[in-house]
């Protein structure tokens, strides 16, 4: 049964629901073009004009990448390789890792591109490229076993998915250690699901690559990264055994383009070394201005600019996340990264400490933020007797201190670790009198809300730049040249407007009135037809459609989502749909994605609750919802109930102290909370109105 039926049963509505159709088989509706069988080498592929790249469906980060190159780089590099050959890339998707080899050898795809380990078993049927990464495999154990050597763990059962490199490693361990047994489990399980199973006690131990564990194990996890059980597991692309010409081209490309993700952890590098290594290590912060994950996509103004800069120099971006300015400067000094890109203000104090800065890439004014009904301040004298809440690590604190030293009687409320968004929210709710924000951050908040106002703007403008070490003059010069060419140019303006000017919600207008004999929307027949395939109530989907696009098939969000159900293009491709602004495609892709999300949640969940979680995941991403469920449990709330429980935890994930503990990091939790509540209420209104018609 599907979630539409479940929800209606819970609400005691009686509806006629058709039987759901089976999911399309792998290799049938899995690509963005009409697939074919082709087992030839490169000459045959040239005749076709395509190279079909193969990955598991939704091959996305298992958490926010906080230290290293995001796995999406595999796909970006593979597409660049295909175009380098003068051919067109096309993606084909498998349901799990176990199906990859079969699809390649049956001629349904040409290159496997994912976090795919080289194993002896796989080498029997596939040919592997030069490694693109080298990882270590670690035992994953309960937190209480952290630091315990394998030999001292006592009897241990290691559970590993069938057909994976982990199975090969576990078999070797069992043959060497009498107290180790192995359990072969479902090959469909992801690394994230393996870690969660150990955390819940379902599994005693498992094995996961270290580059995955960097995202999956957070400081408050109930699991630990155990001992290394395989010191060097190679990650590579794979082709058919007889695709020798294709493999030769792949190897040449990997070597010439330095498609290798392993980088030195601590290395104080300047421009020449960075170019030689092919990787730019960017120190940033997980927040809505710099770097975050939304619906599976990595985003952020600073992140986008750094990617653009790196692309122009044929570099890849490795991300190093730190939470505070002091932590970022410490990481830069230690050589953990090459520069800081985190909306960093140039201050005299920072320059006096010896830090080097690029030219400004953003000019901002500090602003005083109050509630929308507050009176603007004609002069700073009017600030006397009022209080301003700021994070003491920010430049705002310096500004207020200078005002105090100048004789202005203003009270500074120091809120350790607080983000600008958190403080603005506090002002809107009445927790604080005033706060301060840079003008671009205040503008960003205004794209989401209308309950705040700028009460005063400080002059002159301040400069935002990228932070460097004193000896990095070569990198500084390269950055300055980029800024000189790009500042206020087309790419810069589009990117700036995307984050700081465009409204993050579809423009509000009067909803379609539900009246006897009238349709709810212009797309009722289409929605009824597609909803029936998944056993969903079409009125629920229509309510969601209004929330997403206001029934505008041409709608596009700031994040790039398109169509009536605002599907991300990458998500559409995963299910075989392009041209998402075409109503038939947009609705079909949205419903396929909604159904896929529903299946990611445990079957034990109450039927209505499963619907709420699925809708929240559609809005913010499945990972953020699971983060909220884990947080709810730690807070003593019910992780299986949305309203009053998980939704409360979701709101907390916008706060730095909670976001830094979460696998997927920061999320503007108010968005999915509002999304679920409004869709539910509108849906119930539709049901009541249509019943009255009957």
Q: Which one-letter DSSP state was computed for residue 644?
A: I
- Residue for token digits 């630990």? 224
Residue 362: name the closest of 348, 350, 346, 339 by CA.
346
Q: With 0-12 CB in 10 A as exposed, 13-18 as middle and 19+ as buried, what is 213?
A: buried
Residue 344 backbone dihedrals phi, psi, to 5 degrees = -85, 125
Q: Angle CA(628)–CA(341)–CA(218) in degrees, nearest 5?
A: 30
Q: Which one-letter DSSP state was computed for residue 98?
A: G
Catalytic residue among 99, 137, 548, 671: 548
Residue 222 backbone dihedrals phi, psi, to 5 degrees = -90, 15
Buried b (16+ CB within 10 A) or exposed e, 119-149: beebeeebbbbbbbbbbebbbbbbeebeeee
672: which 2 tokens? Answer: 């999915």
The answer to whether the beta carbons of residues 609 and 676 sit under 8 Å apart is: no
Residue 95: name the closest of 47, 59, 51 by CA.
59
482: which 2 tokens? Answer: 């980029």
Q: Identify the H or E element spanning 356.
A: strand 356-357
Residue 686: name the closest of 521, 495, 452, 551 by CA.
521
The answer to whether the beta carbons of residues 469 and 333 sit under 8 Å apart is: yes
CB half-sphere exposure, 628, CA atoms < 13 A:
34
Whether residue 548 lies in the annotated active site: yes
- Residue for token digits 């998980």? 646
Residue 536: name the closest of 82, 156, 8 by CA.
8
Alpha carbon separation from 123 to 120, 283, 367 (Å, rounded): 5, 38, 61
* Dihedral (Cα; 520, 522, 525, 527), 10-degree rounding: -80
CB atoms within 10 A of CB 70: 21
DSSP string of 158-182?
A: EEEETTSHHHHHHHHHHHH-TTEEE
* Dihedral (Cα; 629, 632, 634, 638), 10-degree rounding: -100
Widest Cα–Cα separation across the chain: 80
DSSP string of 47-74?
A: HHTEEEEEEETT---SS---EE--THHH
118: which 2 tokens? Answer: 């080289």
> From the CA atom positions of the chain, what is the Rg in Å?
26
CB atoms within 10 A of CB 241: 14
**CA–CA separation, 510 vs 228, rounded Å?**
60
Residue 338: name the closest of 270, 253, 412, 248 by CA.
270
Alpha carbon separation from 254 to 83, 132, 237, 250 (Å, rounded): 14, 7, 10, 6
| Count of residues in the chain | 694
Q: How far is CA 197 from the centre of its chain?
A: 22
The answer to whether the beta carbons of residues 435 and 427 sit under 8 Å apart is: yes
The answer to whether the beta carbons of residues 506 and 552 sit under 8 Å apart is: yes
**CA–CA separation, 638 vs 408, rounded Å?**
49
CB half-sphere exposure, 23, CA atoms < 13 A:
15
Active site residues: 548
């Amino acid at each position: 049964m599907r979630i539409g039926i479940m929800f209606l049963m819970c609400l005691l509505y009686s509806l006629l629901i058709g039987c759901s159709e089976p999911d399309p088989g792998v290799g049938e509706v899995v690509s963005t073009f009409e697939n074919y069988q082709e087992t030839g080498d490169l000459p045959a592929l040239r005749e076709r004009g395509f190279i079909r790249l193969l990955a598991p469906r939704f091959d996305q980060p298992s958490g926010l990448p906080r230290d290293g190159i995001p796995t999406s780089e595999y796909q970006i590099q593979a597409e660049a390789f295909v175009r380098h050959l003068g051919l067109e890339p096309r993606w084909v998707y498998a349901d799990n890792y176990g199906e990859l080899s079969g699809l390649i050898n049956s001629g349904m795809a040409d290159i496997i591109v994912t976090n795919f380990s080289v194993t002896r078993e796989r080498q029997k049927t596939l040919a592997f490229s030069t490694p693109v990464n080298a990882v270590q495999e670690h035992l994953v154990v309960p937190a209480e076993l952290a630091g315990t050597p394998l030999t001292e763990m006592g009897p241990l059962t290691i559970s590993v998915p069938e057909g994976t490199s982990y199975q090969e490693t576990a078999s070797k361990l069992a043959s060497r250690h009498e107290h180790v047994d192995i359990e072969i489990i479902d090959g469909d399980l992801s690394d994230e699901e393996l870690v969660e199973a150990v955390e819940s006690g379902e599994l005693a131990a498992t094995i996961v690559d270290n580059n995955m564990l960097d995202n999956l194990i957070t400081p408050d996890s109930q699991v630990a990264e155990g001992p290394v059980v395989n010191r060097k597991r190679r990650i590579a692309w794979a082709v058919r055994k007889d695709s020798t010409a294709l493999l030769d081209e792949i190897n040449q490309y990997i070597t010439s383009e330095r498609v290798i993700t392993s980088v030195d952890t601590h290395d104080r590098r300047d421009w020449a070394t960075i170019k030689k290594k092919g990787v730019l290590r960017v120190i940033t912060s997980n927040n809505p201005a710099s770097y975050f994950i939304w619906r599976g996509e990595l985003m952020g103004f600073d992140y986008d600019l750094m990617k653009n800069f790196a692309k122009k120099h044929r570099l890849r971006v490795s991300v190093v996340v730190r939470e505070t300015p002091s932590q970022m400067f410490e990481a830069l000094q230690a050589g953990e990264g090459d520069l800081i890109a985190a909306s960093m203000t140039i201050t005299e104090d920072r320059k006096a400490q010896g830090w080097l800065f690029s030219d400004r890439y953003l000019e901002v004014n500090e602003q005083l933020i109050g509630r929308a009904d507050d009176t603007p301040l004609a002069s700073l004298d009017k600030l006397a007797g009022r209080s301003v809440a700021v994070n003491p690590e920010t430049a705002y604190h310096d500004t207020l201190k200078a005002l105090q030293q100048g004789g202005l009687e203003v009270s500074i409320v120091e809120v350790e670790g607080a983000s600008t968004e958190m403080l603005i929210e506090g002002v809107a709710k009445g927790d604080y009198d005033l706060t301060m924000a840079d003008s671009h951050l205040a503008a960003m908040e205004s794209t989401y809300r209308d309950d705040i106002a700028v009460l005063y703007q400080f002059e002159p403008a301040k400069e935002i730049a990228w932070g460097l070490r004193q000896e990095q003059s070569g990198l500084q010069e390269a950055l300055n040249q980029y800024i000189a060419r790009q500042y206020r140019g087309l790419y810069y303006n589009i990117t700036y407007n995307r984050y700081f000017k465009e409204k993050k919600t579809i423009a509000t207008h009067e909803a379609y009135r539900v009246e006897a004999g009238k349709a709810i929307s212009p797309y009722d027949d289409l929605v009824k037809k597609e909803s029936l395939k998944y056993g969903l109530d079409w009125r629920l989907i229509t309510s969601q459609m209004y929330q997403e696009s206001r029934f505008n098939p041409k709608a596009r969000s700031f994040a790039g989502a398109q169509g009536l159900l605002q599907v991300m293009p990458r998500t559409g491709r995963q299910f075989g749909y392009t041209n998402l602004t075409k109503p038939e495609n947009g609705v079909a892709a949205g419903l396929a994605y909604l159904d896929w999300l529903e299946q990611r949640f445990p079957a034990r969940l109450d039927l209505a609750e499963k619907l709420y979680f699925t809708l929240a995941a559609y809005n913010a991403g499945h990972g953020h919802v699971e983060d909220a469920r884990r947080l709810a449990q730690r807070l003593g709330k019910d992780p299986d109930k949305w309203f009053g429980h998980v939704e409360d935890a979701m709101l907390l994930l916008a706060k730095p102290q909670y976001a830094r503990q979460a696998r997927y990091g920061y999320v503007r939790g108010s968005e999915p909370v509002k999304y679920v509540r409004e869709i539910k209420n509108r849906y119930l209104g539709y049901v009541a109105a249509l019943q009255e018609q009957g």
